[in-house]
Amino acid sequence: MKKTLASIVIPVFDEAENVGILHQEIAAAVKDRDEDYEILFVDDGSSDHSLVELKKIHASDPRVKIIHFRKNFGQSAAISAGFKYSSGEVVVAMDADLQNDPADIPLLVDKVGEGFDIVNGWRRDRHDKWLTRKVPSFFGNKLISWITGIKLHDYGCTLRGFRSDVVKNMKLYGEMHRYIPAIASRMGIKSTEILVNHRARKFGKSKYGLGRTFRVVIDLISLKFLLAYSHRPLQIFGGVGLLMILTGMGSGLYLTYAKFVLNQGIAGRPLLFFTLLTVFLGFQAISLGLLAEMLSRIYHEGLDKNEYSIRELIGFENENIDDRPRTLF
């Protein structure tokens, strides 16, 4: 009987002190499991000797594979590449900083095996700084849950389990990796949330800070548009444009009444300029909606670009990889 294969996807950026320990902990966590495992480290353009350490790990463990980016493309791009090159029926994503506990990996795999498409980790007891991490995270989770309609306690937790068909061809960019449950909700997926262990960082420096909050907010706006209007952008632009045209027509009718019934002068009235402006901008909004509609069709029907560029693949020698990633350049 063929064993289930689980893929563990780990983005790495300047984590040379952590990757060796992480590999040991993962190996210990899965050694008595029934599933086969592969570990995909995605080196996201590290400037330290992370790649050297990863190659040492690969030499000692054939289950380890390495995707080496040409430069730093960000965590979302790294996770997206890991998803694309994973071979498992179940995919687990986690951070490389040792704050996620590899002992939770079997829990995620088992939960996916129960029939869930996505199993989200919830770090209820977080070992992070209160002001710069916990407070923004609390309000951010509330905001994201409200905007997306997908209620989760911890959108920022990378530690998640997935059915491979949910994420295999998912395109991620910006900070979109944290919104995977919301993005996947368009497929009608079944998801749940489980408590996972969270540990304090011992080595290296955190890549997160308050400055990242602004990028998250911008991506959240993009996500709302993606979820609600990506297949029908004319509805939002056309709706705004139609409202502006109707407003302009209403004020225009009033001006016509004032001119021909009340015999009032309208040439210098601000309302006349308001009428012309709203009608003009209304038609502009509808035109923009039509252009967005055409771009949306082009995107969904023919665009196939990745947000990363790979320098080398290590550990994939015995696999037939026909769909090599194409770069944006």
| CATH code of the domain covering residue 107 | 3.90.550.10
- Statement: residue 233 has pLDDT above 80: no
pLDDT value of position 112: 95
Range of the structural domain that residue 275 is part of: 233-302
CA distances (Å), 170 to each of 37, 76, 79, 130, in order? 22, 11, 10, 33
pLDDT value of position 17: 94
Residues 296 and 187 in one domain: no
Please give the single-letter amino acid code of residue 180: I
Mean pLDDT, rounded, of the chain: 83
Residues 188 and 289 in one domain: no
In a domain, 328, yes or no: no
pLDDT value of position 328: 30
- Statement: residue 242 has pLDDT above 70: yes
In a domain, 321, yes or no: no
- Statement: residue 301 has pLDDT above 70: no
Q: How far apart are CA 80 and CA 167, in angstroms?
A: 8
User: CB count, 10 Å around CB of 203?
Assistant: 11
Structure tokens given for 265: 């002068």
pLDDT value of position 102: 96
Residues 30 and 102 in one domain: yes
Average pLDDT value for residue range 144-156: 81
Average pLDDT value for residue range 50-75: 95
In a domain, 277, yes or no: yes
- Statement: residue 141 has pLDDT above 80: no
Which of 257, 286, 282, 285 minimizes the C-alpha distance to 271?
257
In 180-318, the DSSP E strands lie at 191-195, 310-314
Residues 211 and 257 in one domain: no
Listed ranges 167-171, 197-201, 250-254; the one with the highest mean pLDDT: 250-254
Average pLDDT value for residue range 9-32: 95
- Statement: residue 329 has pLDDT above 50: no
Residues 111 and 182 in one domain: yes
Residues 220 and 259 in one domain: no
The count of structural domains within the chain is 2
Which is more confident, 328 or 93? 93
> Residue 98 — pLDDT band, cuts 50, 70, 90?
very high
Residues 154 and 210 in one domain: yes
**pTM for the full predicted model:** 0.73
In a domain, 329, yes or no: no
CB 306 within 8 A of CB 326: yes
Listed ranges 9-18, 216-225, 229-238; the one with the highest mean pLDDT: 9-18
